[in-house]
Amino acid sequence: MTITTDTRRAAVPAEISRSWLLVSAHDEDRFDLAARSHADQVILDLEDGVDPRHKDAAREKVLGWFDAGGRAWVRINDRASEFWSDDVDRLRASDGLLGVMLAKSESAAHVTETYDRLGGTTHVIALIESALGIECAVEIAQARSVFRLAFGSGDYRRDTGTAATDLAMAYPRSRLVVASTIAGLPGPIDGPTVSSSHPVLREQSATAVALGLTGKLCVDIDQLPVINECISPTTSDVTWARSFLADFDARGRVVRDGSDLPRLGRAQKIDALARAFGIQPLA
């Protein structure tokens, strides 16, 4: 098996990655395609993306791909499931594992037990998908092992009976943003947009960004360019940021009024993201 890894994704650190592509771990033929895609990160899905009867076989496909040189994240089954133990024990020694996304995280213990069983060095993203998980989001975010939070919007709606409207989704999304901020984590990763319409995807991505989320799950390679664009600084933002930073340096970094420090922080953040994503200012 030949593994081709996209160097653009490797250049985007996971803490600021925008697009997180879920690929069923049972679909081995899609692994290389995902690795060559525009996804900042690829997640091989051992949970909802695999029928329970095929979990063991799918896990072995992931390990075989890792042995051949592949590298990706893996969404593992939740702590309460019968598959969790085999997931963490089999993945623990794999060189290709970039980190795991723990499904249905509902407590700090779920994350720390996963982290410890994986050897205490593997990144763990807590995927929060229920009412209990949302209410425990601060506790989960402050767990010693959590790397980033993510929103399992579909299962959350199923658990709570909530509609998929922006208004209905504002509370859980904001809750994850606040919890991440309290814990000093990067912005959370939003759930996927099911619609294949790019205008709908743009609208939902823009809403997530407005609420403070900084990444998005997706299941369709065609969505990746839209997500990456929507969650990146605009060229006009980059132009403003670099102009402000140049002016601030030119005046000896003297603070003139109460708006300077907030603007400095925003400009520095935009500039850092633009450099990481390869975005150039307007000419």
Is residue 192 within 8 A of residue 224, CB to CB? The reply is: no
- Sign for the pseudo-dihedral over CA of 121, 125, 129, 130: positive
Closest CA to 174 of 149, 154, 155, 157: 149
Low-confidence ranges of the chain (pLDDT < 50): 1-10
Architecture of domain 7-230: Alpha-Beta Barrel (3.20)
Burial of 121 (0-12, 13-18, 19+ CB in 10 A): exposed
pLDDT for the residue 165: 93
pLDDT for the residue 265: 93
Helix segments in the chain, DSSP class H: 7-10, 31-35, 55-67, 84-91, 108-117, 131-135, 137-141, 153-160, 166-183, 198-211, 224-230, 235-250, 260-277
pLDDT for the residue 2: 38
**Geometric angle at alpha carbon 110, from 105 and 115, rounded to 5°:** 115
- The pLDDT tens digits of the residues spanning 192-230 come to 998 889 999 999 999 999 999 999 999 999 999 999 999
Is residue 96 within 8 A of residue 65, CB to CB? The reply is: yes
Delimit the domains of the chain by residue range. 7-230, 235-277
- The pLDDT tens digits of the residues spanning 69-107 come to 999 999 999 999 999 999 999 999 899 999 999 999 999
pLDDT for the residue 68: 96
pLDDT for the residue 14: 97
Burial 48-80, CB ≥16 within 10 A → b, else e: bbbeeeebeebbebbbebbeeebbbbbbbbbbe
pLDDT for the residue 3: 39
Gap between the Cα atoms of 157 and 172, Å rounded: 10
Gap between the Cα atoms of 245 and 248, Å rounded: 5
Q: Which residues, 6+ apart, have CB-to-CB distance to 241 below 8 Å? A: 233, 266, 267, 268, 270, 271, 274
Chain position carrying tokens 């709570």:
160
Cross-strand pairs, 42: 21
